[in-house]
């Protein structure tokens, strides 16, 4: 079985593994106050062009989102997010478990627009009964989104402007941030993101690290006591240097960008194979997740050799599925898949596969 079901099927990039081995017997203080964490922070500040940013390392995405959001909101406030947002659907109510509602905005492609945020904000404050409703307290976006789409610089600037106007911190979930930045559609850099967001995180788990997410806090007002929050939410890793070593390796000389680029190239090969062979795509993704719409029999056939995720039923005979690539995706596996996609067409020669 060749796995495209997600972007965390392997361990760690070999250079990261090498560094973990080299440093294994060293003794360092715990909880992330070691020199590796310090170095990793400096590299990330440099990449973000944000020397005053506070950087913290956590283990996983749900933990990171929860810690950030719980740290920012007062009890009567909620997090504004796309209805497709990870915090809105796939974190088992972790945000609600800290007492906060996720205020959802409609979205088909995973993105939300500045106009929507402004309308929701105005609707709240113009309602005479607003004290009976959850107050919008921050805006959460993912880039790339859970659907593989990415924000353009113009879109992010517009969002950022509205958020600052409404005094709503803008929080960006970057679990797959590298793959978003590597998208051919993206005109954003880490420095842009640092300029436009109040808090964001740089995902390591899905991009070369064994595990780990780097939180970047830009807004000074949100920096206070964040380590207490990490500890309370269970994210303060005893051997914190493991996170520092990994992020140092990812950012010392551009490894993060390099392996992100590889994953996206692999994804585009898959995308093209589906499109050229007459399949539609559920979302117009140019990052590492691809969502072709397949007939049920194609799903069964490809499923014998490849693992991928069911996404959603489209009609009685079609469903969309998700293929993920990653830093670890082997080109020969993608080439094999491309051939099999082609073969599927030749064998079936059926319009029924295409909508």
Tell me the closest approach of the beta carbon of residue 252 to its own copies, in angstroms: 19
H, E, C per residue of the chain: CEECCCCCCCCCCHHHHHHHHHCCCCCCCCCCCCHHHHHHHHHHHHHHCCCCCEEEEECCHHHHHHHHHHHHCCCCEEEEEECCCHHHHCCCCHHHHCCCCEEEECCCCCCCCHHHHHHHHHHHHHCCCHHHCCEEEEEEEECCCCCCCCCCHHHHHHHHHHHHHCCCCEEEECCCHHHHHCCCCCCCCHHHHHHHCCEEEEECCCCCCCCCEEEEECCHHHCCCHHHHHHHCCCCCCCCHHHHHHHHHHHCCCHHHHHHHHHHHHHHHHHHHHHHCCCEECCCCCCCEECEEEEHHHHHHHHCCEECEEEEECCCCEEEEEEECCCCCCHHHHHHHHHHHHHHHHHHCCHHHCC
Residue ranges in 290-309 that form contacts with its own copies under rule CB under 8 A: 307
Binding flag, residue 66, its own copies (CB under 8 A): yes
The interface region with its own copies, picked from 22-30, 142-150, 191-199, 214-222 by CB under 8 A, is 22-30
Binding flag, residue 60, its own copies (CB under 8 A): yes
Q: Which is nearer to its own copies, 181 or 237 (CB)?
A: 237
Residue ranges in 67-96 that form contacts with its own copies under rule CB under 8 A: 67, 70-71, 74-76, 78, 89-94, 96
Tell me the closest approach of the beta carbon of residue 324 to its own copies, in angstroms: 11
Q: Which of 44, 163, 217, 236 binds its own copies (CB under 8 A)?
A: 236
Q: Which is nearer to its own copies, 208 or 292 (CB)?
A: 208
Residues 117, 80: contact at Cβ < 8 Å? yes
Tell me the closest approach of the beta carbon of residue 197 to its own copies, in angstroms: 21
Binding flag, residue 9, its own copies (CB under 8 A): yes
Q: Which is nearer to its own copies, 116 or 186 (CB)?
A: 116
The interface region with its own copies, picked from 21-29, 178-186, 188-196, 283-291 by CB under 8 A, is 21-29
Interface pattern 177-216 for its own copies (x via CB under 8 A) = ----------------------------xx---xx-----
Q: Which is nearer to its own copies, 151 or 201 (CB)?
A: 201
Q: Which of 54, 56, 62, 345 binds its own copies (CB under 8 A)?
A: 62
Q: Which is nearer to its own copies, 28 or 280 (CB)?
A: 28
Q: Which is nearer to its own copies, 50 or 177 (CB)?
A: 177
Residue ranges in 124-183 that form contacts with its own copies under rule CB under 8 A: 128-129, 131-135
- CA dist., res. 245 & res. 237, Å (int): 13
Binding flag, residue 239, its own copies (CB under 8 A): yes
Binding flag, residue 51, its own copies (CB under 8 A): no
């Amino acid at each position: 079985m060749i796995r495209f079901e997600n972007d965390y099927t392997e361990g760690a990039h070999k250079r990261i593994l090498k560094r973990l081995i080299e440093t294994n017997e060293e003794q360092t203080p715990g909880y992330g106050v070691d020199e590796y964490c310090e170095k990793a922070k400096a590299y990330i500040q440099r990449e973000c062009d944000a020397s005053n940013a506070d950087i913290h390392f956590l283990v996983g995405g749900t933990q990171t989102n929860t810690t950030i959001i719980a740290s920012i909101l007062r009890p009567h406030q909620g997090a504004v997010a796309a209805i497709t947002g990870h915090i809105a659907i796939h974190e088992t109510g972790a945000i609600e478990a800290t007492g906060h509602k996720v205020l959802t905005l409609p979205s088909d492609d995973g993105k939300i627009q500045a106009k929507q945020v402004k309308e929701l904000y105005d609707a709240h404050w113009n309602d005479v009964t607003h004290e009976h409703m959850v107050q919008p307290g921050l805006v959460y976006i993912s880039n790339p989104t859970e659907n593989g789409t990415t924000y353009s610089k113009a879109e992010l600037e517009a969002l950022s402007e509205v958020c600052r106007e409404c005094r709503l911190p803008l929080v960006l979930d970057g679990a797959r941030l590298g793959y978003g930045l590597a998208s051919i559609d993206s005109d954003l850099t880490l420095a842009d993101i640092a300029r436009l967001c109040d808090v964001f995180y740089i995902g390591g788990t899905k991009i070369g690290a064994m595990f780990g997410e780097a939180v970047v806090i830009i807004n000074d007002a949100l920096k206070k006591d964040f380590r207490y929050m990490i500890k309370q939410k269970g994210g303060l890793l005893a051997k914190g240097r493991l996170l520092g070593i990994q992020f140092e390796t990812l950012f010392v000389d551009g490894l993060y960008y390099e392996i992100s680029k590889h994953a996206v190239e692999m994804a585009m090969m898959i995308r093209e194979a589906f499109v050229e062979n007459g399949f539609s795509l559920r979302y117009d993704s140019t990052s590492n997740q691809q969502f072709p719409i397949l007939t049920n029999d194609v799903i069964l056939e490809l499923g014998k050799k490849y693992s991928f995720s069911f996404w959603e039923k489209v009609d009685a005979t079609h469903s969309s599925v998700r293929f993920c690539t990653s830093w670890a995706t082997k080109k020969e596996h993608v080439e094999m898949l491309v051939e099999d996609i082609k073969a599927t067409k030749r064998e079936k020669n059926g319009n029924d596969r295409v909508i």
